[in-house]
Structure 1
């Protein structure tokens, strides 16, 4: 698959790096899909597979690493700031729209996991977006923390957030937290066993620059983020939401509730499986084809 190494400027003047996949067999400027990954992920973690599916269908595709992660610049390293991330999606749209291969009137966004929430928010506020796919989306930080962190652990977690704030205020280094852990009772941003299995295997196989750490502030910022509250504002941009009925990372019930608040035109696909079956597992062919068809339908000339 033909692709080009790219870089463009993100929020705060930070350089973001990624890949551009030109639409195959395109004789005139074609649509572009901006693809964005989830919590702590880097672009090598199967974004290239989705981009290839889209490019083969005559769609340009752009993938990149969030600032502070992977090949992109930014500090503190390994810090997830949802506001910077969704604003950088808009910067990526601007960059892509100025490429000669791209028809700027036909822009789609595809976000998965944490960036599935970003996609909802960006589609609601940036009407350059003409089609959106939100896959196993992060809907609500407060609701997700309540579901994924034991109530007796929450006071300790909040004490750690406060201690980290004080330490950073006084010039200390950010407190770091594991992204995943083999111990379901251990402290990690994603303590689920399937998260540990997928991240460590995928990093070993194809993403050596992934790091099993996040700043503690990343979890605090994620817990304040509520992108699902924007979902009713996406219309009339066509929405496709794809969820998994055994998702233990981004609770699918929250996604279904959010989908009910979305206005038409909208489509929901519920697949059988877990959160990570969408990347290299049994559901990839189904959901990548569904996303491709959604974009080709709604981004026609």
Structure 2
């Protein structure tokens, strides 16, 4: 074990039950072998995933290759995966079998939260853990998943993580839309309504609204095929504590999740084990997606019953997968289309990275601390990474090519944003940032607009929380009101705990913003006033809340789309009780700044 894993428990079991399983399944059992189990944990984004490491009998000094395994929709490792791991171990493989966060014995709150994005991060961390285990050959990891986990294996293999040599997707979930169409309309409507309710509860900071993962026909559950509930619960070993529940918001994530679209990016040998009469993941789209990968081996098993009745505990037939001896990893060498993420190790950068990975993108991670950037890249399966400093445009410029993309989250942007923007423009790369600083956006337009037109660079600043929602809300209000709308007051409010969720860069921007003027669109022209110069009341969910004047890019873009607007003003009320004190503090800061300037 190393610093990335924690060894917590050691047990050893003989093969009596495994040999019996092999005999029942019609496969030959090894003459004599034992399986040693270790309980390990590995970190993922501040939480820990729990896993069991199955080790076969040692053969000389050689270390066994390792298979990383995880279950399907809402299921845990105690639901039959031991039988698969034991069969692999009998063939000489080690197996690292883990629970996703929010399920089983892994950490993560709230419980029973099913997020494909988070589970893909769990897979990346599990593979990284497997590659660093001292008891196994970490240079030859294989990914194995069933059902929803099979879909994750497809997505993971498509990302081409470091060292992965093969993938096995058993009865894989490949297309959320196809799976949704396989559900009875009554259940679909019920689950959608429950999902909407859970989304609202999440926005309000309340506990999740839970529904059954598998239930009877026409019930409110994610899976409602005739054999779903008995087949699913039949995987639970006697005496195991398991709750057949999941946060209902998963309905929307599952619908959008289509890992089959990524099969064309897979370069390692991949086995698709497809059930012809699958009641959850229809076979036809799965086979169609599998055919898109030249590296795919497809296996179609004709089963007389539906899929959820074929996975009985301790009775699974599983042929041993071949072990590739060399690395079959592919690299994307198209430098003109790659994405560089500057500031990936920061709070906002981490959110952007998670969103990219969840959509199958593989950005180059860039930052000024080589140790931090290297560790972050390794945590996510060996992404490309480089050292670059926002204060040194040359270090950013060398990472960019014409047609590439630079995404930067390094703020405050008035301080750290100009150099990366200039580097992108000179390289002919496209530029995206998460700024909310109007002064920076105005300066960016003034300094870089003409040059960007010459080099073909597209500038897309302020594409984050600040201030896309206000621009969208203002657009909707102006369209609904028509020509009668002459002024827009836009307020930003927080609906949950915020203080400890502010990134360091955001806090610095807020602090610096008190000494900088705020822009308003007033009398059809852009004017500047002292930040927090006045307070405006809003009614939010039936309560009156004060907000103070701030800068917002809303004032730059809304008048361009609606030329009849006389005024656009942006207000902030993240902390309503502090709105009036902030006005006083802003006045004092402004006076102090003027005093220093007059010396």
Fold equivalence (TM over 0.5)? yes
- Partner residue of 1:268 out of 296, 299, 302: 299
SS at match of 1:202: coil
Deviation at 1:172, TM superposition (A): 2.4
SS at match of 1:295: coil
2:296 and 2:182 map into 1 onto residues whose CA distance is 30
Equivalence for 1:197:
230
Cα shift readout 1:142-172 (whole Å, capped 9, x = no counterpart):
221122242x665554444333222321232
Equivalence for 1:221:
253
1:269 and 1:231 map into 2 onto residues whose CA distance is 17
Structure 1 residues 98-247: aligned runs within 5 Å: 98-127=132-161, 128-150=163-185, 154=188, 157-181=191-215, 183-203=216-236, 205-206=237-238, 208-235=240-267, 237-247=268-278
Deviation at 1:275, TM superposition (A): 1.2
Would the alpha carbon gap of residues 246 and 29 (structure 1) be closer, same or farther in structure 2, given more than 3 Å must change?
A: same
- Deviates further, 172-181 or 39-48: 172-181
1:216 and 1:174 map into 2 onto residues whose CA distance is 8
8 Å CA contact 2:187, 2:218 repeated in 1: no
Would the alpha carbon gap of residues 117 and 175 (structure 1) be closer, same or farther in structure 2, given more than 3 Å must change?
A: same
Deviation at 1:265, TM superposition (A): 4.7
Cα shift readout 1:199-228 (whole Å, capped 9, x = no counterpart):
23332x346222111110122211111111
1:72 and 1:191 map into 2 onto residues whose CA distance is 27
The CA RMSD over aligned residues, in Å, is 2.1
Equivalence for 1:295:
322
SS at match of 2:219: coil
Equivalence for 1:83:
117
1:209 and 1:154 map into 2 onto residues whose CA distance is 28
1:68 and 1:262 map into 2 onto residues whose CA distance is 32
Deviation at 1:263, TM superposition (A): 1.4
8 Å CA contact 2:198, 2:247 repeated in 1: no
Equivalence for 1:40:
74
Structure 1 residues 27-66: aligned runs within 5 Å: 27-66=61-100
8 Å CA contact 1:271, 1:283 repeated in 2: no
Q: Which runs of 5+ in 1 are unaligned?
A: none
Would the alpha carbon gap of residues 207 and 112 (structure 1) be closer, same or farther in structure 2, given more than 3 Å must change?
A: farther
8 Å CA contact 2:175, 2:257 repeated in 1: yes
2:243 and 2:184 map into 1 onto residues whose CA distance is 22
SS at match of 1:228: helix
8 Å CA contact 1:90, 1:126 repeated in 2: no
Deviation at 1:133, TM superposition (A): 0.6
- Partner residue of 1:20 out of 50, 53, 77: 53
8 Å CA contact 2:177, 2:256 repeated in 1: yes
Deviation at 1:251, TM superposition (A): 1.1
8 Å CA contact 2:42, 2:50 repeated in 1: yes
Would the alpha carbon gap of residues 144 and 74 (structure 1) be closer, same or farther in structure 2, given more than 3 Å must change?
A: same
Deviation at 1:99, TM superposition (A): 1.2
1:186 and 1:250 map into 2 onto residues whose CA distance is 19
Would the alpha carbon gap of residues 282 and 96 (structure 1) be closer, same or farther in structure 2, given more than 3 Å must change?
A: closer
- Deviates further, 263-272 or 192-201: 263-272
Deviation at 1:61, TM superposition (A): 0.5
2:314 and 2:97 map into 1 onto residues whose CA distance is 23
- Partner residue of 1:5 out of 28, 39, 43: 39
2:81 and 2:220 map into 1 onto residues whose CA distance is 27
8 Å CA contact 2:174, 2:285 repeated in 1: yes
8 Å CA contact 1:42, 1:207 repeated in 2: no
8 Å CA contact 1:177, 1:214 repeated in 2: yes
TM-score, normalization by structure 1: 0.89
8 Å CA contact 1:67, 1:74 repeated in 2: yes
Cα shift readout 1:186-210 (whole Å, capped 9, x = no counterpart):
111111231211223332x346222
TM-score, normalization by structure 2: 0.46
The number of residues matched between the two structures is 290
8 Å CA contact 1:31, 1:299 repeated in 2: no
